[in-house]
């Protein structure tokens, strides 16, 4: 029997161990930058408001809104007895949170997550245009702007201008929404501007994420697709409700795979039925035909929120927890703003609950 030379065994061993070591190190190098960020995010998730906290807020009078939030993370941001002050506080908190998260993100993903800054440009633009739509004064609009984003200085100069000047000013920026402004001028319907703003933000995100082949971005691209589907679905439902033709609605959509269904269906009900056989079905599982458009959109938002929560638990180390947290926090802040507004207007707790997203 030939005895194998120990040296050959050793060489084989070195190769086997080398392969193990290479695979282990490669995986560690991939996840190492995200381990710290994920840990911070998970610790922050522990401080998300639970049902009990929301119930307490819903049942308290408006005057106690800030008092109830005192022992939460929002405590040092919210104050005052008017909705505008509370809203400003919540948005300031959101801005600081975004800044913190941008600081946590590893360098190789910074470009992809720059939407956390661009969101503020879109939010400020929306504030200006809503203010103009509602006939607010220049000072009132400027008071509501949050100093964040890339083109804050430009946006700050827009209150007091005409719509045409606003459209012109935005033409050289990534936020060219001339189409939405034209439709708004023609119909008086602000939703066109809403959709146009959302679209430019998502187009920017898509542009940054496309072409990047990193494995960790797979989950980000998945979620981005959910947001795109949600935008397109809401735009199509609105379009169908107002009788907007396929040719006209197309420019507000990022994807129009269901053009034939849109054209051929008589109204929203029939369109919804057809959509249940398409890839949008996951967003309209809870949408019933008898709901009004606002309730339908709320159900779609809840479906998006569920997807975000799902994404949070898909990966232990990766962008999943980060995306999930951002989604849940966004929904929480939206609920708080809505609650404050409704309570200031004296809406009953039962009615307030109907408007809130189910977290």
| Residue ranges that bind another protein, judged by CB under 8 A | 6, 13, 17, 20, 24, 28, 31-32, 35-40, 42-46, 316-317, 321
User: Is the distance from CB of 86 to CB of 100 less than 8 angstroms?
Assistant: no
CB 303 to another protein: min, Å: 24
Give the separation between CA 128 and CA 134, rounded to whole angstroms. 10
Place of tokens 């109907």: 354
DSSP state of 4: P
Three-state SS at 15? helix
Smallest gap, in angstroms, from Cβ of residue 40 to another protein? 4
Q: Which is nearer to another protein, 12 or 134 (CB)?
A: 12
Eight-class DSSP state of 70: T
The least CB distance from residue 38 to another protein, in Å, is 6
Least distance in angstroms from the C-beta of 45 to another protein: 5
Residue 152, helix vs strand vs coil: helix
Residue 81 or residue 316: which is nearer to another protein going by CB?
A: 316
CA atoms within 13 A on the CB side of 160: 8
Which tokens hold the place of 94?
Answer: 């959101």
Cβ neighbors of 198 (< 8 A, separation 6 or more) are: 122, 231
Task: Please report how close the Cβ of residue 37 comes to another protein at its closest, in angstroms.
Answer: 7
CA angle at 336 for the pair 334 and 339, rounded to the nearest 5°: 105
* Least distance (Å) between residue 329 CB and another protein: 14
Residue (9 or 168) nearer to another protein, CB = 9
Write out the two tokens for 133: 């739509």
- Rounded to whole angstroms, how far apart are CA atoms 272 and 295? 14
40 or 333, CB closer to another protein?
40
HSE, side-chain direction, 13 A CA sphere, residue 336: 30
Closest CA to 184 of 173, 172, 196, 176: 196
Question: Please, what is the minimum distance in Å from the beta carbon of residue 26 to another protein?
Answer: 12
Is residue 322 a contact partner of residue 220, using CB atoms and an 8 Å limit?
no
Nearer to another protein, 7 or 294 (CB): 7
Please give the DSSP secondary-structure letter assigned to residue 62: G
Q: Whose structure tokens read 């009078």?
A: 61
Q: Smaller CB distance to another protein: residue 40 or 246?
A: 40
To which residue do tokens 């962008």 refer?
319
The distance of closest approach from Cβ of residue 308 to another protein in the complex, given in angstroms and rounded to an integer, is 16
Backbone phi, then psi, for 188, in 5-degree steps? 75, 10
> DSSP label at 5?
P
Query: 28 or 134: whose CB is closer to another protein?
Result: 28
Cβ proximity to another protein, 4 vs 294, nearer residue: 4
* Longest alpha-carbon distance in the chain: 98
| CB 48 to another protein: min, Å | 9
Compare residues 261 and 315 and give the one whose CB is closer to another protein.
Answer: 315
Of 18 and 61, nearer to another protein (C-beta) is 18
């Amino acid at each position: 029997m030939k005895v194998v030379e120990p040296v050959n065994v050793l060489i084989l061993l070195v190769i086997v161990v080398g392969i193990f070591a290479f695979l282990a190190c490669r995986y560690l190098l991939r996840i190492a930058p995200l381990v710290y960020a994920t840990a911070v995010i998970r610790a922050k998730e522990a401080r998300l408001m639970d049902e009990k906290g929301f119930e307490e807020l819903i049942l308290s009078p408006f005057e106690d809104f800030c008092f109830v939030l005192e022992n939460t993370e929002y405590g040092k941001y919210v104050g005052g007895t008017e909705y505008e002050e509370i809203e400003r506080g919540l948005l300031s908190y959101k801005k600081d949170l975004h800044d913190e998260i941008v600081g946590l993100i590893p360098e190789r993903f910074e470009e992809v997550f720059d939407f956390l800054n661009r969101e503020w440009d879109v939010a400020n633009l929306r504030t200006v245009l809503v203010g103009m739509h509602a006939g607010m004064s220049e000072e009132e609009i400027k008071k509501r702007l949050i100093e964040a984003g890339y083109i804050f200085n430009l946006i700050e100069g827009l209150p007091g201008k005409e719509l045409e000047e606003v459209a012109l000013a935005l033409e050289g920026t990534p936020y060219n929404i001339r189409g939405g402004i034209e439709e708004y001028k023609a119909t008086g319907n602000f939703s066109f501007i809403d959709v146009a703003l959302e679209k430019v933000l998502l187009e920017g995100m898509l542009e940054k994420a496309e072409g990047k082949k990193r494995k960790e971005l797979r989950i980000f691209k998945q979620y981005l697709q959910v947001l795109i589907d949600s935008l397109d679905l809401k735009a199509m439902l609105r379009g169908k409700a107002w009788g907007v033709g396929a040719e006209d609605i197309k420019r507000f959509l990022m994807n129009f795979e269901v053009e034939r269904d849109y054209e051929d269906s008589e109204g929203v009900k029939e369109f919804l039925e057809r959509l249940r056989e398409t890839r949008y079905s996951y967003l309209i599982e809870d949408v019933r035909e008898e709901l009004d458009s606002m309730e339908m959109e709320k159900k779609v938002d809840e479906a998006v929120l569920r997807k975000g929560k799902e994404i949070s638990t898909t990966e232990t180390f990766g962008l999943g927890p980060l995306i999930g947290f951002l989604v849940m926090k966004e929904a929480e802040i939206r609920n708080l703003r809505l609650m404050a507004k409704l309570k200031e207007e004296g809406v009953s707790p039962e009615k307030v609950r109907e408007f809130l997203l189910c977290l």
